[in-house]
Structure 1
């Protein structure tokens, strides 16, 4: 009878992190290949803005029919996606940098909004029991600590 294999938590986490790293590298490799092939097609005139937009519409239609998205995005959102793809295909560095800066700005604004929201902290039960003992009250009475 074969003995079960045992892994420590550190070993398991190391394996998972190594796998995540390899997936990230593979994804980056696929994006690079896509960009190269798309640029070749674009430069040869085999790929147009309208074809990309139509393909994005079709992709979202398929996703909606499969039930993977709830509703079709609006035409303006589809155009934003198409414009973003064409910035990469055309190699428009200025537009890409501008988009990245706007995205970072929105992330900072969102983080600032989240930081201003009130927080609810929950004390572990052992801390509440300790407070009960210190105050001389019956344990388990429930407290709101502000």
Structure 2
């Protein structure tokens, strides 16, 4: 079965679009759930968040979904800070991080636009095979 490059790229882009939609849906659901938690438990403290994050990371590590060498304390601290700031409504920092992310994404897209992907024509391998007889070198595929 032969698949053209356009068909292959189309299939990959379809999958990426599907994953993006799924991630957006999960993000929205998580945000709603966390808003509910915040409204039901207004006295939620940083220590409560840190305990929950540490427990989840420990479960993930025990399930084999994290490497033993991963720094759980560092990951826990970063996640705790991020979640607690989000619960406190630190929108300015969130906006700053999103702007930085969008800038990096734009730079990556610009860099990709400038790259050229060369694809050999279908008869190129046959042409190399014919030239093999004329030269005394080896042909590597």
Q: Fold-level match, TM-score > 0.5?
A: yes
CA contact (8 A) 2:57 2:76 kept: no
> What RMSD in Å do the two structures reach over aligned CA positions?
4.1
- Taking the TM superposition and a 5 Å limit, the aligned residue runs for 1:1-146 are 20=18, 23-24=22-23, 26-41=25-40, 44-45=42-43, 47-71=44-68, 72-104=70-102, 111=108, 123=120, 126-133=123-130, 136-138=131-133, 141-142=138-139
Alignment CA distance shift 1:23-1:77 (3 Å): closer
Q: What residue in structure 2 maps to residue 6 of structure 1?
A: none
How many residue pairs match? The answer is 120
Q: What residue in structure 2 maps to residue 3 of structure 1?
A: none
CA contact (8 A) 1:38 1:89 kept: no
- TM-score of the aligned structures, taking structure 1 as reference length: 0.57
Alignment CA distance shift 1:23-1:92 (3 Å): same
- The structure with more radius of gyration: 1
Q: Secondary structure at the match of 1:34?
A: helix
- TM-score of the aligned structures, taking structure 2 as reference length: 0.59
Q: Secondary structure at the match of 2:59?
A: helix
Q: Secondary structure at the match of 1:52?
A: helix
**Structure 2: 5+ residue stretches without partners:** 1-6, 113-117
Runs of 4+ in 1 over 6 A off after TM superposition: none
**Structure 1: 5+ residue stretches without partners:** 1-8, 116-120
CA contact (8 A) 1:39 1:90 kept: no
Alignment CA distance shift 1:67-1:128 (3 Å): same
The one-character-per-residue Cα deviations of 1:51-98 (angstroms, maximum 9, x if unpaired) are 111111111111111212112534232111111112321221111112
